[in-house]
Amino acid sequence: ALASMLALAACGGGGEQTSGEADGQATDGGVVKADIGVVSYLSGSGAAYGEAITSGLELALEEINAKGEVEINLIIEDSAGKQDQALTAAQKLMNSENVTALIGPTLSTEMNVVGPEADLNGVPTIGTSTTAEGIPQIGEYIFRNSLPEALAIPASIDKAIEKYDAKKVAILYGNDDVFTKSGFDTMKAAAEEKGLEILTIETFQKGQSDYNAQLTKIKGLNPDLILASALYNEGAVIMDQARKMGIDVPFVGGNGFNSPEVIEIAGDAADGLIVATPWYAEKDDPKVQEFVSKFEEKYGKKPDQFAAQAYDALYIYAEALKNAGSNDRDAFRDALAEVKITGILGDFAFDAEGDVIMTPTVLVIEDGAFKVFE
**Positions that interact with ligand LEU (CB under 6 A):** 49, 106-108, 129-132, 179, 231, 255-256, 306
CB of 245 to ligand LEU, least distance (A): 25
SS3 171: strand
* Least distance (Å) between residue 132 CB and ligand LEU: 5
Is the torsion defined by CA of 128, 232, 61, 363 positive or negative? negative
Nearer to ligand LEU by C-beta: 141 or 179?
Answer: 179
DSSP conformation letters of 10-29: HTTSSS---SSPPSS-SEET
User: Nearest distance from residue 221's CB to ligand LEU, in Å?
Assistant: 28
* Amino acid at residue number 350: F
CB of 192 to ligand LEU, least distance (A): 22
Residue 146 CB, nearest approach to ligand LEU (Å): 7
CB of 131 to ligand LEU, least distance (A): 4
User: Which lies closer to ligand LEU via its Cβ, residue 22 or residue 230?
Assistant: 230
For ligand LEU, the nearest residue by Cβ is 179
| Beta-sheet strand order (sheet of 251-253) | 197-204, 168-174, 225-229, 251-253, 273-277, 361-366, 369-372
Is there a cis peptide before residue 154, judged by omega within 30 degrees of 0?
no
* Least CB distance to ligand LEU at residue 228 (A): 13
Count of CB atoms situated within 10 Å of the CB of 152: 26
Query: Taking the complex as a whole, how short is the minimal distance between the CB of residue 76 and ligand LEU, in angstroms?
Result: 16
130 backbone dihedrals φ, ψ, rounded to 5°: -85, 110
Nearest approach, Cβ of 337 to ligand LEU (angstroms)?
22
For 40, list phi and psi in degrees, rounded to 5. Answer: -135, 150
**Residue 16 C-beta: closest distance to ligand LEU, Å:** 34
> Among 241, 109, 107, which Cα is nearest to 172's?
241
How many angstroms separate the first and last alpha carbons of the chain?
Answer: 75
Q: Give the H/E segment covering residue 275.
A: strand 273-277
Strand partners, 226: 170, 251
- Distance, in Å, from the CA atom of 315 to the CA atom of 335, rounded to the nearest integer, reads 13
Q: For residues 307 and 321, which CB has a smaller minimum distance to ligand LEU in the complex?
A: 307
Following DSSP, what letter does each residue of 326-352 receive, concatenated? S--HHHHHHHHHH-EEEETTEEEE--T
Q: What is the DSSP letter of 33?
A: E
Cβ proximity to ligand LEU, 49 vs 373, nearer residue: 49
Name which of 231 and 362 has its Cβ closer to ligand LEU. 231
- Closer to ligand LEU at the Cβ: 64 or 313? 313
Task: Give the 3-state secondary structure of residue 308.
Answer: helix
d(CA 235, CA 253): 8
The strand pair at 101-103 and 142-144 is best described as unpaired
- In the complex with ligand LEU, which residue's Cβ is closer, 181 or 283? 181
Nearer to ligand LEU, 130 or 277 (CB): 130
- Residue 58 three-state SS: helix
